[in-house]
Structure 1
């Protein structure tokens, strides 16, 4: 038996056309999918992509299909599905590492990322550091220095959207039109990590969130931007292929309960009925 767990992501810090193609930097938070792989019969209700990943890892190390069929997968997750919280990436990445550990192996991050994108578009939560990642083919993996400490008031939108449905949309022209904005956001994000400056990180995320409105508009977005200004928050980020919004803050400096109260006065909470205070954490599968 072996276990692994991978964090969720509060959307993305940035996502868009950067350096000639679509890339992203995820925002890992302290919610997890925990996967256990052990010998035994396949369990009912198993998620198909997790089984697909287990089979890929077994084959990657040269073992037989019969071995894969002799293993079962157990999942415990605190991550809501279909909201842009990287639940699927967390599930399959944790499955990959748990399977490798069961076989007495250790997957490095580049190999794990490559295995994941073979199954679906993948969040960069598979990397320990904030990483600019080509989430479609894993050919670009540029790590940042350690990120500054940030908390987020995570606003869970009322709608769900499957990542693959988002990627079926014709988005390239809109993405390219914002390339300069996203290149600027990427530079600010890197600088924010280098200087341990949460405000620069927030500026980068806000630039990307504004650009994302052309592709997948968030309800009450201008009102949320006004909250950032009113409470002098670091910024906001969004799930570019989901309904989540994160208000980036420091709970020692910002009264998040007051922000929630203000959201109710402005009826923003009609569209984001559930709010959570979460921490941005180091990524990577544990």
Structure 2
């Protein structure tokens, strides 16, 4: 038996047209998918992509395809699905690492990312460092220095959007129109990590979030920006291909209860009915 975990993401710190194409830097948070791989009969109700990852690994290592019928996948995750929290990436990445261990193999981050991208657009939560990543082809991987500590009040919307549906949207023109903004956001993010500045990280995320409004607008966004300013928060991050929003803060200096109250007062009740207090964490898949 082998167990591995991978974190969720509160949307992306930045996402858009960067260095000549669409790329992202995910925002890993302390909410995990845990996958256990063992010998046994496959469960009747499996998430299709986790089985696809097992089958892909067998082909990658030139093992008999029939071996898949002897591998059981137990996926334990409460990460909201289809809301931009990298739930699918967490599932398949944890599955890959747990399966590798079960079969006596190892996966480095580059190989893991390539395997995940072969199945679907992949969040950069598969990397331990904050990483600028080409989530479609996996050809760009630029790691940042360790980021500053940041807490996040995650606002969960009832709205859902499948990643595949987002990527079918006509969005390239809007992304390219915001390329200069995203270049500034990327430069700010790198500087934020170098200087361990939560304020600069928040500025980078906010620039990207504002640009994202031209592609996938979030309801009540102007009111949330006002709360960021009124409460002197670090900034705002959004799921560029989903519905969640995160308010970036420090629980030692910001009154989370007051901020939560402002969100309830200044936005429609049905827009953000659920809130979660999380923190940004190191990414990557961990064997347990």
TM-score by length of 1: 0.99
| Aligned position for 2:105 | 105
Shift of 1:69: 1.8
| Aligned position for 1:160 | 160
| Aligned position for 2:124 | 124
Gaps of 5+ in 2: none
Question: What is the 5 A alignment of 1:18-57?
Answer: 18-57=18-57
Q: Secondary structure at the match of 2:226?
A: helix
| Aligned position for 2:249 | 249
Structure 1 CA distance, aligned partners of 2:19 and 2:265?
Answer: 42
Structure 2 CA distance, aligned partners of 1:65 and 1:36?
Answer: 20
Question: What is the 5 A alignment of 1:1-286?
Answer: 1-286=1-286
* CA distances 1:118-174 after superposition (whole Å, capped 9, x unpaired): 000000000000000000010000000001100000000120000010000111100
* CA distances 1:94-130 after superposition (whole Å, capped 9, x unpaired): 0000110001111000000000000000000000000
- Tell me the matched-pair count: 286
Question: Is residue 100–residue 106 contact of structure 2 (8 Å, CA) maintained in 1?
Answer: yes
Shift of 1:268: 4.0
Question: Is residue 58–residue 99 contact of structure 1 (8 Å, CA) maintained in 2?
Answer: no
Q: Secondary structure at the match of 1:270?
A: coil
TM-score by length of 2: 0.98
Question: Is residue 223–residue 267 contact of structure 2 (8 Å, CA) maintained in 1?
Answer: no
Gaps of 5+ in 1: none
Q: Secondary structure at the match of 1:82?
A: coil
Structure 2 CA distance, aligned partners of 1:268 and 1:12?
Answer: 24
